[in-house]
Chain A
Amino acid sequence: MTKAGRELIAACCVVIFGGIIVAGAIPLLKTHTESVGPGYLPLIYGAAIIFLGGALIVRAGLSLRHAAPVEHIRPVTLLRTILLFVTLVVYAVLLERLGYLLSTWLSLFICFCVSGKVRVVRSIAYALIFAMASYALFTRVLTIALPKGLIGF
């Protein structure tokens, strides 16, 4: 995909986001009649986002006409990025269910594996050391409670 193509997709997302903000502001405007009620600024922000997003669409559209060099995202990078995002989401889901120690160890181990730059045995060790050290630091030294989950820590 060309850079302009990527910019165009991003600008369309921006406009949709602005539209959602405006849609959320309209009911607030109807229920409150003060000069500047709770829906006033969201409406302005949403409208401005749509306007600027529109400007970016026009700019990206004009750029599409020129023969811009095609930018290939390497499949490895794309795969790593997707896997990493999935890992982060699963980490957040499991944090309170499995407990801090287990979920952190598993998630960080997967992060090491996704990067492809650390050996498996070292990944297991590094992730375990970090999880245990940070758990001890936060719960014992800083006396901050972390999720205990199924196994109690």
Chain B
Amino acid sequence: MDLALALHQLLTPEILGAIVVGSLIGIAGGAMPGLSSASTMAILVPFTFSMHLFTAVILLAAVYTGAQFGGSITAIMINAPGTPEAAVMTFDGYAITRRGEAGRALGISVLSGLIGGVISTLIFIALALPLAKFALSFGPVEYFALAVFGLSLIASLASGSMIKGLLSVLVGLFVTIIGLDPITGTPRYTFGLTELYSGISFVPALIGLFAVSEAVILLTQTEPLIDKNPNMPVQEASRLPSRTDVRSVLPSIGLGSLIGTVIGVMPGAGAAIASVIAYNEAKRWSRNPKKFGNGALEGIAAPEAADKATVGGALVPMLTLGIPGSGSSAVLMGALVLHGIAPGPLLFKNNPDLISILFLSLLAANVIVALFGFWGIRYYVRLVQFNPAVTGTLIIGIAVVGAYAYGGDILAVWVTLGFGILGYFMKLLDYPSAPMILGLVLGGMLENSLRQALIISGGGWTTLISHPLGAGLLGVAVLSLVLQMVRAWSHH
């Protein structure tokens, strides 16, 4: 990696502009209740068509970073988390705001996010290179085992019911079957429609599942999304935390950063789980655990650091192995595929410039988000007062035009709307949608690697357990599923 060249590229107006614009859009998207970081990114993907690869990827990475912080602003200021992962921030953040110390809470949130984001980006680059080099030795058996391992984690770590998580994965896997079989050329589930021969595109499905489904909810809900606090002490935003405050939360920030990075690396776990675990661990190790829930600064620092640290963590498996660690990194992966780049170990060999500039851009995005965080607190809070009907309708408009522009035909629009309606019902019935997206991403790899492995071995299934790494990964996958089932059964 040539970091000097990457730094030179980073300082061009186009790249710097992408980081600044992406950070602002991300903060705004994250602050709007109902929009997650993944949906904000999914809406933007069609706009990156004509951009240079670096600009497109960096813009989306900056949105990802910004959205993680945006969700916390409204959680702290008005008790309305903009994103699911920011829900934990309401426990102590809003309590501090009600004491008239919103600036302290937001300042700690910005600082924790900055440190968490920088630590995870450094760990990302330290882990990614060796992992990518190691993954270069993988054959079809290892890739098959890796896909099964990733899917088992996704299903078992999905929030809510494990059965529903598995079903979501299976539907995603099935969708990848539709179209011409890559080995025999046989049409599968095309119902005679030649338009389906090339399969169902990942990007329109992703826009539908993440963006259109949330737009439908915004347009149809009758109750307000948030309880607006008329006495919101916005003027307190300028009062920043003291040095003593900062010193007192540093251990919690370190703890949250490590938890967030580790959980971010695990496919499917996500920032929401990382935030909750970081909060619980910070409470467990705190000298004053009773303060948690009543306005403890550590109760903001640990989950915020963990939340932002998942960004770097989630990029490790996505870039090195082609397995996205979260819904947002799946969107980023979609953007890479859109520009003709296949994530995986060869990415580090063939596009080292992209990795270098992405690494520096993530660091820059963290700093810029922090600067905007301190500067614009009082302005972002107004975003929650934006009419959800306008937001929802505009999302539908952008999703449709984006899907058409992506596919170049009406099929992409049908896919987007179909997956949007499916996603709406999934949300209504508590079926997680992220596992489906990851099933869509991994389905092709799973089938192709399995069939390649069996063709190479002459049809012998024992080949799947004859490779030590592959067998180990398959064993861990089965074990994690069984353990999860046993735990679910014992809870029941």
Contacts and interface: CB of A to CB of B under 8 A. Distances in A.
Interface-centre pick from B181, B398, B401 (highest chain A CB count, 10 A): B401
B429 interface: yes
Interface-centre pick from A76, A115, A126, A134 (highest chain B CB count, 10 A): A115
Given A52-B163, A147-B404, A28 B188 contact: yes
A114 B388 CA distance: 13
Interface of A is mostly: helix
A30 B393 CA distance: 48
Interface in A114-150: 114-118, 126-127, 130-131, 134, 138, 141-147
Interface residues on B, range: 35 or more
Given A38-B184, A56-B163, A111 B174 contact: no
A81 interface: yes
Contact of B216 (A81, A91, A95): A81
A117 B394 contact: no
Interface residues of A, number: 64
B42 to A, nearest CB: 16
Nearest to A109: B393
A3 to B, nearest CB: 9
B417 A84 contact: no
Contact of B400 (A41, A95, A118): A95
B222 interface: yes
Contacts of B424: 81
B49 interface: yes
A27 to B, nearest CB: 10
Given A45-B177, A52-B163, A96 B410 contact: yes
Interface string B171-191: 101100100010110101100
Given A85-B216, A88-B396, 10 more contacts: A28-B188, A36-B454, A49-B171, A52-B163, A74-B222, A88-B212, A96-B410, A115-B388, A117-B388, A144-B405
B170 A49 contact: yes
Contacts of B186: 28, 31-32, 38
Contacts of A55: 163
A142 B405 contact: yes
Interface string B428-453: 01010000000000000011001100
B390 interface: yes
Contacts of A74: 222
Contacts of A36: 450-451, 454
Contact of A100 (B47, B222, B401, B454): B401
A112 B389 contact: yes
Given A36-B454, A146-B405, A45 B389 contact: no
